[in-house]
Copies of this chain bind each other. A is one copy, B any other.
């Protein structure tokens, strides 16, 4: 691994820089790409902000959001440097992976634990709560003067990846960095409204329908909700309106594993798993040909919802007993 200073030196020497985060972009990768990109613009570089997938509507307010080139659009440019952010493997770059095979200097910056076996200069800090924290330090090294647009991008990166400073990854340094961003002019209250208080009516209609199905095992350690295709269609709701539903189950006192059953097409169900106890839900999901992590996993199962629920809940209870 190289030092962040080496990456700063490399960027100082660059002229035409393209930056990208990962597929299915989130607040951290978009905020980090925009912040570093706007900073390099300040230094007089030619800068292209790129994203493998379109920006979710939620992030259209981000300074620099209108400058992003999406997917293959970004392959047309002539660059000398490729900055990859918040990604541990090349596949996370989607169509932009192709840029790795060109004659470009590749800088990789990330905070995830992972392989990171590509790129000429690689800097990974798993103690950073967000890639945005590393970018804040990098902009200091590049001596980019403070700017409220850049600070707002970094705030967005950090507040989204820490779950509003609630997750385990939040450190004292996270709070000190955010204090500085606010001193640089970030209107944190406004950003929080834009990020967390712009729910659509459909969101709440779907929540209401899902809550009607809320159920727990007699022991209270496993909870679940389901949303049928019919419910979504009758409300005119889309997949994105089910985002975050599983967190309502997970937030219940005593619940160790939360499940969400979403009917993608009639008879075909996406099952979401969340664990906040010691149960490894990735292991349970793999019994249904799914995958994921220790605490968050998913699978697709076919059949009738009653039978599917019974099967998955029993598998979770069995994993708990073996624990």
A residues neighboring B (CB under 8 Å): 164-168, 170-176, 178-180, 182-183, 188-189, 192-193, 196-201, 204-205, 207-208, 211-212, 214, 216, 248, 250-253, 276
A237 to chain B, nearest CB (A): 14
Q: How many copies does the complex hold?
A: 2
The distance in angstroms between the C-alpha atoms of A179 and B211, with both chains bound, is 37
Residue of B whose beta carbon sits closest to that of A215: B201
A168 near B189: Cβ-Cβ < 8 Å: yes
The distance in angstroms between the C-alpha atoms of A189 and B205, with both chains bound, is 30
A193 near B276: Cβ-Cβ < 8 Å: yes
Across-interface contacts of A201 in B (CB, < 8 A): 214, 216, 252
Known: A165-B178, A200-B253, A205-B211. 11 other contacts (CB 8 A): A166-B188, A166-B196, A167-B189, A171-B182, A172-B182, A173-B179, A176-B179, A196-B251, A197-B250, A198-B253, A208-B208
Residue of B whose beta carbon sits closest to that of A181: B172
A207 to chain B, nearest CB (A): 7
B167 near A164: Cβ-Cβ < 8 Å: no
Residue of B whose beta carbon sits closest to that of A195: B166
Given A168-B189, A170-B189, A208-B212: A252 in contact with B175 (beta carbons within 8 A):
no
Could you pull out 21 A-B pairs where Cβ atoms are within 8 angstroms? A164-B164, A165-B188, A166-B188, A167-B192, A168-B189, A170-B182, A170-B189, A171-B182, A172-B179, A173-B179, A175-B176, A175-B178, A175-B179, A175-B182, A176-B176, A176-B179, A199-B251, A201-B214, A208-B211, A208-B214, A211-B211
